[in-house]
């Protein structure tokens, strides 16, 4: 099972580095914001790239997949003050038929594999140490998710999203 996790992690790094369209379009969404329809100008990728160049966090990199899609992710290699392993990758999706633009975060495969590995260990050993481990992993991943969700909301804000009270 640990070998599968390593294979998933390496595969994921390759797919991210090569900007595989299928990898950025398909996945389990764990973050989604709906915005008013926004036209995807050619200059948008450049503007986003310059805006999210780091400032203590890993730079967000943007790549146009099509006229209606821009993929984004954190830099795989960056020397920054704050460093973490991302739990999701992003997609900006313009859907004229819905009259909406979406900012979507898909969970990275290694996160699912990590939870499966720890859960299998918990089931097979019935130990309290495994329970502590799964809670610890969940807390760390939750904290990373919170950081990334904040950064994804900043991407959405540049597209015109405004936080509203429910």
Q: What is the pLDDT of residues 89-131, one digit of tens each?
A: 999 999 999 999 999 999 999 888 888 877 777 777 766 666 7
Q: Would you list the DSSP string of 103-154?
A: EEEEEPHHHHHHHHHHHHHHHHH--HHHHHHHHHHHHHHHHHHHHHHHHHHH
Would you state the pLDDT for residue 40?
Answer: 83
By C-alpha distance, which of 140, 75, 149, 79 is closest to 107? 149
Would you state the pLDDT for residue 50?
Answer: 81
Query: Which parts of the chain have pLDDT scores under 50?
Result: 165-166
Would you state the pLDDT for residue 124?
Answer: 77
Phi/psi at 64 (nearest 5 deg)? -75, 125
CA distance 25 to 69: 9
Would you state the pLDDT for residue 166?
Answer: 41
- Give the burial class of 5: count Cβ atoms within 10 A of its Cβ; 0-12 exposed, 13-18 middle, 19 or more buried: middle
What Rg, from alpha-carbon coordinates, does the chain have?
Answer: 17
CA distance 148 to 125: 33
């Amino acid at each position: 099972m640990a070998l599968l996790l390593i294979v998933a992690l390496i595969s994921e790094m390759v797919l991210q580095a090569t900007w595989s369209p299928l990898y950025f379009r398909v996945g389990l969404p764990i973050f989604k914001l709906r915005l008013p329809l926004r036209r995807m100008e050619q200059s948008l990728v450049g503007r986003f790239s310059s805006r999210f160049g780091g400032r203590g966090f890993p730079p967000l990199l943007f790549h146009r997949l099509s006229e209606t899609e821009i993929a984004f992710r954190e830099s795989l290699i960056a020397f920054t003050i704050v460093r973490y392993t991302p739990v999701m990758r992003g997609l900006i999706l313009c859907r004229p038929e819905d009259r909406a633009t979406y900012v979507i975060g898909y969970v990275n495969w290694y996160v699912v594999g990590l939870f499966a590995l720890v859960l299998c260990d918990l089931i097979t050993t019935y130990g309290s140490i495994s329970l502590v481990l799964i809670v610890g992993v969940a807390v760390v991943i939750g904290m990373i998710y919170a950081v990334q969700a904040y950064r994804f909301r900043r991407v959405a804000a540049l597209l015109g999203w405004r936080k509203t009270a429910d």
